């Protein structure tokens, strides 16, 4: 990803699409919607990924995805495409990641878990569930890795916009600052261990951002790199 001059609007779109990319990967290989959302809420997010996407509408997420710049990090298979093909458009349609009987509140839909397992089988992916605390760790590491592929990630203005967008766009807990700040609190070396492990986001197929490897060797975070 080589874009520079990131705007506030662009930062929000980037954060939303990065969350979708990493969350879909976790849903395919590691978890289900209600467990992912519960783990995010327990961590301090104001809303879980799947509930938020249902509220927004999956077609909106798909349209935004089509404008997402290629950074060399892709999904094995797009769960979003399968959801749309089955008419799972979100809350407005009464069904998405969850069901909304009578237009009311969300309820767990076991058919989605069946869908995820089927897609994993078609893709030759062996599902292996993660504990709630590990889900958030992998979500965080995956998102930081995608964002760290930006050539301007070390620029203070870029990091500030991305941190602000984490809170504004996806309800990241204000007290934690943002994903860029997480690199300073969780040493880059720890992130690299997650990203290169057997259960790494992307199944180990996503390249670790060079800047993370560089910072790992120095024991520093973005602001100290």
- The model's pLDDT over 148-164, given as tens digits with 9 standing for 90+, comes to 988 888 888 998 999 99
Report the distance separating Cα 93 and Cα 54, nearest Å.
9
Residues contacting residue 160 through CB under 8 Å, at least 6 positions apart: none
- pLDDT tens digits for range 105-129: 999 999 999 999 999 999 998 999 8
Compute the C-alpha angle 32/33/34, nearest 5°: 100
In Å, how far are 142, 167, 195 from 205, measured between CA atoms?
12, 28, 10
The pLDDT of residue 151: 83
Among 3.90.550.10, 1.20.1640.10, 1.10.1040.10, 1.20.1420.20, what is the CATH number of 29-122?
Answer: 1.10.1040.10
Tens-place pLDDT, residues 131-141: 888 999 999 99
For the cut 60, the answer to whether the pLDDT of residue 200 exceeds it is yes
Long-range contact set of residues 208-211: C-beta below 8 Å, sequence gap at least 24: 208/145, 209/145, 209/148, 209/149, 209/153, 211/148, 211/153, 211/154
**Quick one: average pLDDT of 177-186?**
80
Query: 26-35, 71-80, 153-162, 170-179: which range is least confident on average?
Result: 71-80
Question: Mean pLDDT across the stretch 64-79?
Answer: 74
Compute φ and ψ for 11, nearest 5 degrees. -65, -40
Average pLDDT of the residues in 180-193: 82
pLDDT given at position 1: 39
Alpha-carbon 15 to chain mean position: 8
Local confidence band at 222 (pLDDT 50, 70, 90 cut-offs): confident
Least confidently predicted of 70-74, 86-90, 151-155: 70-74
pLDDT band at 69 (very low <50, low <70, confident <90, very high): low
Q: What is the mean pLDDT of the segment spanning 87-113?
A: 94
d(CA 91, CA 98): 8
Q: Is 202 left (phi over 0), alpha (psi -120 to 50) or beta?
A: left
SS3 content of the chain, % helix, strand, coil (to 5): 60, 0, 35
What's the confidence (pLDDT) of residue 224? Answer: 56
Q: What is the mean pLDDT of residues 47-60?
A: 96
Q: Give residue 60's pLDDT.
A: 92
pLDDT band of 144, cuts 50, 70, 90: very high
What angle is formed at CA 47 by the lines to CA 43 and CA 49, rounded to 5 degrees? 95
Question: CA torsion sign, 149 to 151 to 154 to 159?
Answer: negative
pLDDT greater than 80 at residue 66: no
């Amino acid at each position: 990803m080589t874009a520079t001059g990131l705007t506030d609007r662009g930062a929000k779109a980037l954060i939303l699409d990065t969350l979708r990319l990493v969350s879909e990967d976790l849903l395919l290989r590691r978890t289900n919607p209600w467990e992912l959302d519960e783990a995010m809420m327990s961590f301090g997010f104001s809303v879980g990924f799947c509930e938020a996407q249902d509220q927004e509408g999956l077609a909106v997420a798909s349209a935004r995805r089509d404008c997402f710049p290629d950074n060399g990090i892709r999904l094995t298979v797009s769960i979003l495409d399968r959801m749309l093909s089955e008419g799972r458009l979100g809350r407005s349609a009464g069904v998405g990641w969850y069901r909304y009987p009578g237009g009311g509140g969300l309820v767990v839909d076991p058919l989605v878990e069946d869908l995820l397992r089927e897609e994993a089988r078609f893709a030759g992916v062996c599902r292996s569930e993660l504990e709630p605390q590990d889900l958030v760790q992998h979500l965080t590491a995956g998102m930081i890795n995608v964002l760290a592929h930006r050539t301007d990630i070390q620029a203070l203005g870029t990091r500030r916009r991305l941190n602000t967008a984490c809170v504004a766009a996806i309800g990241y807990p204000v007290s934690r600052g943002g994903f860029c700040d997480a690199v300073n609190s969780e040493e880059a070396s720890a992130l690299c261990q997650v990203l290169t492990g057997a259960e790494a986001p992307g199944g180990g197929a996503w390249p670790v951002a060079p800047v993370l490897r560089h910072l790992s060797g120095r024991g520093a975070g973005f602001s100290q790199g």
